[in-house]
Structures are given as structure tokens and as C-alpha cells.
Amino acid sequence: MTFPEPTVPAAAGRAEVFLRYLDYFRETLLHKVASLPADALGRSSLPSGWTPLELLKHLRYVELRWLEWGFAGRAVPEPWGDRRDERWYVAPGETLDTLSEQLRRQGETTRPIITGGDLDTLGAPGPRWDGADPPPLERILFHLLQEYARHAGHIDIVAELAGGTQGE
């Protein structure tokens, strides 16, 4: 997947720009994690202690929390299912394949939420916002992009340390 340059091809609108970037960052992260040696997937190379598999699971839940649970106001059984004891968590039996598939399916759920309305539409009131006014969809999408971009940089460092794919 190539970086979504602003001019080639022209996007149909702002929502399409957001979708292209989210798809790009999601697939880039999936590619980089898949390029890691198997023994690097479930161990941390950094003092903070997170693992590449935990990062994939976290990003799936980030999309779920911000778009499904937050913006769309859908009932989500475990919106914080990527956490246990105040840190990211991957359960025994969750693998690169299962977590990658879940992240891709979350992207498929994201697409109609973004294309189904106007970017100025406010999110549904609900528990995601802890009593604050819900933000508009565009603000949520900016947040998601910065989250993905930041974590793409993190996985670059891990990949460099473990001998995986680096850069774009």
C-alpha cells in the first residue's frame, strides 16, 4: 500500500481522505508487525513493556471506542477489552492472525460510519464521553490519525530493533 499523496488520485471529499489515511496506517502497522520474527511478537523491546501483539489489539479497540461506542453510540460489551490491570493485554490464544483479522474487520466497520454522514455531525451522547459534549466526527478522525501515526513510529522502532520491516 502506498502513502495516500494529497493529489494522486484526487479524493472525492474529506471523508475519503480520512479513510485513505486510516487504511494506509492500519495496513502499514499490520505489515510491520507481520514482518517481525515470531519470538518478537509477544515480548517487549522497550522499557514501557508493550508488545507488538498488544499494539494491534489496542488499535482495534481504539477504533471501536472512538467510532462505534463513541460517535455512533452503539452498545459495546467491552469497550476497554484491550486492557487489564491498567495496561494493554493479549489473552492466551490470541495470535497475530486473529488480532490482524480483528483489526481489519474493525476497519470494515469504520468505513460505513465515516461515509454514512457529514464530518460535522456530533457523536451520540453516551458513556464514551464521561458527561462531556460529544465531538464531531472530523475531530474524532483527526484523533484516530494521530494515534495511528504515533503508533506507526513506535512499531518502526521495534521493527528496527528486531530486524523487521522499517520505514514506509
Measured N-to-C along each axis, helices 14-34 and 52-63 cross at an angle, to the nearest 10 degrees, of 160
Q: How far apart are CA 126 and CA 42, in angstroms?
A: 34
Q: How far apart are CA 53 and CA 11, in angstroms?
A: 32
Number of domains making up the chain: 1
pLDDT of residue 117: 84
In a domain, 2, yes or no: no
In a domain, 78, yes or no: yes
First CA to last CA distance, the chain: 9
Q: How far apart are CA 100 and CA 137, in angstroms?
A: 25
- Answer yes or no: is pLDDT of 46 > 70: yes
In a domain, 34, yes or no: yes
In a domain, 116, yes or no: yes
Mean per-residue pLDDT of the chain: 92
In a domain, 9, yes or no: no
What is the model's pTM?
A: 0.92
pLDDT tens-digit series, residues 13-26: 899 999 999 999 99
- Answer yes or no: is pLDDT of 168 > 90: no
Q: How far apart are CA 55 and CA 120, in angstroms?
A: 30
- CATH assignment at residue 69: 1.20.120.450
The parent domain of residue 55 ranges over 14-162
Q: How far apart are CA 14 and CA 12, in angstroms?
A: 7
